[in-house]
């Protein structure tokens, strides 16, 4: 009798638990999402399956590194669709936590030519978010040639529209709809999280689809695409024009000496140039000096080397001497955009362009997939720069400073950018924010920008990395707590010989700047915003 009672009690508890789980989520099958679609697309297939995911550290965005062996069970959707008449094929991935959904939705961004990945969703679902990402019409392993041209000489404009903007809007709408189908109720808040291309995607959402996200974290954003991507090719074109191919040893020597000269302008010796506008280092001062390349190799800095580096720092100019775009900051590593491959530390060097900038010249401007970009001279480069702006600004420029619609939608946005960024020019983001501020004196009520001294592209380097910025965004959206500062940590790395302690700082909302006021330079309390 007692055993029968215990059996019935256990059965009752099991049924209660099962019913509770049933009310928390729907069934993870294609039938649950049979009506998933949008008026502007034709759905080709929807695959739904339960999956157990681990944290994908390679796709982690805008947070401090996390190492965990935990897993999360999700309902994983793969939606394939096309836009009628476009002949494209787009994939959107949606991950829905089976348990402990926090009521929020998150769109996850990509990087470079990669619009997004399925792996990127792991970070979001570990935080309890329903999440979506899109491939923008091409897989991450696809060559640009395979999707950028419909045929030799012809840009695939449908794929370019997908990559630039359209698939981002689709992914947000599909993700939200799937979330409601699975949980039986809509999300409370929607967030975007991205860096680099993902940062550009976030600003594209704010500019073109302002009602999709309540909060947008757009870091190191690849905005001004039509200008900064050609500007990335400037160092490579200069090599051929000057017939000078620098080694990494030479380039690093200029960066090290410039950093030495301008390091303490802020009153702190920390290998970080936090006041780049005051840095007037002249590359010609190194002419005739030696630089050590290895234990048994040195080089002598030449006048041609100094001229080359000066031009890279200045950025591209047209024949009249007018600036076309910004150059790299003095402490930013030069070897990504001015890359070479040498048989010895400083001999027989050959140019190695940054791939995205080379792709842009070859596929989208020359429209010739077999073009040797090393043949592009100064005259052709200037023509390409004009062409890039004229043909692509309206598609992928992503620099409309009028954020009126995003403001009226009630959205909030945060951008931070490393001042030592070696790929996307920090000044371009600062300039965009200033333009937006000039248009709207109330900009800081809904959009704030933070400069991160010493931080590199999407990461810290030896500089200040605000890894809790997403938390600040959520607090702003949901609690109305606007971030005057972002707490950042500078972690010593092998990129500097200096013995630096772990440091903290509170990054300042533009136009204020981080200012040392005395005391222990490793502590945030020794700085203020002025």
- Positions annotated as catalytic residues are 196, 421, 457
Helix (H, G, I), strand (E, B) or coil at 33: helix
Whether 189 and 215 have beta carbons less than 8 Å apart is answered as yes
Compute the distance between CA of residue 196 and CA of residue 336 in angstroms, rounded to an integer.
15
Nearest 5°: phi and psi at 211?
A: -100, 0
The residues pairing with 323 across neighbouring beta strands, listed in sequence order, are: 317
- Distance (Å) of CA 453 to CA 194, 338, 464, 504, 508: 20, 22, 6, 12, 11
DSSP H/E element including 18: helix 2-24
The residues pairing with 91 across neighbouring beta strands, listed in sequence order, are: 80
The residues pairing with 290 across neighbouring beta strands, listed in sequence order, are: 300
DSSP H/E element including 503: strand 503-508
426, with CB counted inside 10 A (0-12, 13-18, 19+), is buried
Whether 453 and 278 have beta carbons less than 8 Å apart is answered as no
- Distance (Å) of CA 33 to CA 25, 79, 121, 187, 333: 13, 10, 19, 17, 48
368, with CB counted inside 10 A (0-12, 13-18, 19+), is middle
Tracing tokens 């640009």 back to the chain, one arrives at: 144
Contacts (Cβ under 8 Å, ≥6 apart) of 26? 32, 181, 182, 183, 184
Which stretches of 261-324 are assigned E, i.e. beta strand?
Answer: 290-294, 297-300
Torsion angle in degrees (nearest 10) through CA of 259, 265, 267, 270: -10
In sequence order, what DSSP letters do the residues of 129-190 get, joined into one string? -EEEEE-TTS-TT--HHHHHEEETTEE-HHHHHIIIIIHHHHHHHHHHHHHHHHHSS--SEE
- Distance (Å) of CA 199 to CA 223, 260, 341: 8, 31, 30
DSSP H/E element including 204: helix 197-208
Bond preceding residue 511 cis, omega within 30 of 0:
yes
Q: Which two structure tokens, joined as six digits, stand for 162?
A: 């997908």
Helix (H, G, I), strand (E, B) or coil at 82: strand
């Amino acid at each position: 009798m007692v055993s029968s009672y215990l059996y019935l009690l256990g059965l009752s508890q099991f049924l209660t638990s099962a019913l509770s789980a049933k009310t928390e989520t729907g069934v993870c099958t294609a039938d649950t999402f049979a009506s998933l679609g949008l008026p502007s697309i034709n759905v080709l297939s929807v695959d739904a399956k339960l999956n157990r995911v681990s944290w994908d550290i390679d796709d982690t965005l805008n947070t401090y590194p996390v190492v965990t062996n935990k897993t999360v069970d999700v309902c994983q959707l793969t939606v394939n669709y096309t836009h009628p008449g476009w002949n494209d094929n787009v994939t959107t991935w949606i991950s829905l936590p089976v348990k402990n959904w926090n009521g929020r939705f998150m769109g996850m961004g990509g990087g470079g030519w990669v619009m997004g990945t399925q792996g990127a969703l792991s970070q979001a679902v570990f935080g309890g978010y329903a999440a979506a990402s899109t491939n923008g019409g091409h897989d991450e392993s696809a060559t640009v040639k395979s999707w950028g041209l419909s045929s030799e000489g012809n840009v695939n404009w449908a794929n370019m529209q997908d990559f630039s903007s359209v698939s981002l809007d689709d992914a947000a709408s599909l993700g939200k709809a799937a979330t409601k189908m699975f949980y039986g109720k809509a999300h409370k808040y929607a967030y975007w999280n991205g860096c680099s291309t993902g940062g550009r995607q976030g600003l594209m959402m704010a500019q073109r689809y302002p009602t999709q996200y309540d909060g947008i974290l757009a870091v190191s954003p690849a905005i001004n695409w039509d200008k900064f991507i050609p500007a990335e090719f400037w160092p490579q074109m200069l090599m051929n024009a000057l017939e000078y191919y620098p080694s990494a040893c030479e380039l690093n020597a200029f960066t090290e000496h410039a950093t030495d000269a301008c390091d303490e302008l802020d009153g702190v010796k920390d290998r970080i140039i936090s006041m780049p506008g005051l840095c007037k280092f002249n590359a010609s001062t190194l002419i005739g000096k030696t630089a050590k390349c290895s234990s048994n190799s040195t080089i002598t800095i030449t006048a041609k080397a100094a001229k080359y580096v000066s031009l890279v720092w200045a950025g591209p100019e047209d024949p009249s001497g007018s600036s076309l775009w910004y150059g790299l900051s003095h402490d930013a590593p030069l070897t990504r955009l001015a890359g070479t491959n040498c048989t010895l530390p400083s001999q027989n060097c050959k140019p190695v362009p940054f791939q995205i900038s080379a792709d842009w010249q070859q596929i989208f401007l020359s429209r010739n997939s077999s073009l040797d970009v090393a043949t592009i001279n100064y005259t052709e480069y200037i023509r390409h720069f004009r062409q890039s702006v004229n043909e692509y600004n309206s598609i992928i420029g992503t620099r409309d400073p009028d954020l009126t619609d995003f403001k009226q939608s009630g959205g909030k946005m945060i951008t931070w950018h490393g001042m030592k960024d070696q790929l996307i020019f920090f000044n371009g983001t600062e300039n965009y924010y200033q333009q937006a501020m000039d248009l709207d004196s109330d900009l800081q009520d809904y959009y704030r920008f933070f400069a991160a001294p010493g931080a590199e592209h999407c990461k810290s380097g030896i500089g200040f990395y605000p890894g809790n910025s997403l938390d600040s965004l959520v607090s702003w959206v949901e609690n109305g707590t606007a971030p005057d500062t972002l707490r950042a940590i500078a972690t010593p790395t092998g990129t500097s010989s200096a013995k630096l302690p772990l440091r903290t700082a509170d990054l300042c909302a533009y136009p204020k700047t981080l200012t040392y006021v005395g005391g222990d330079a490793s502590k945030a309390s020794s700085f203020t915003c002025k």
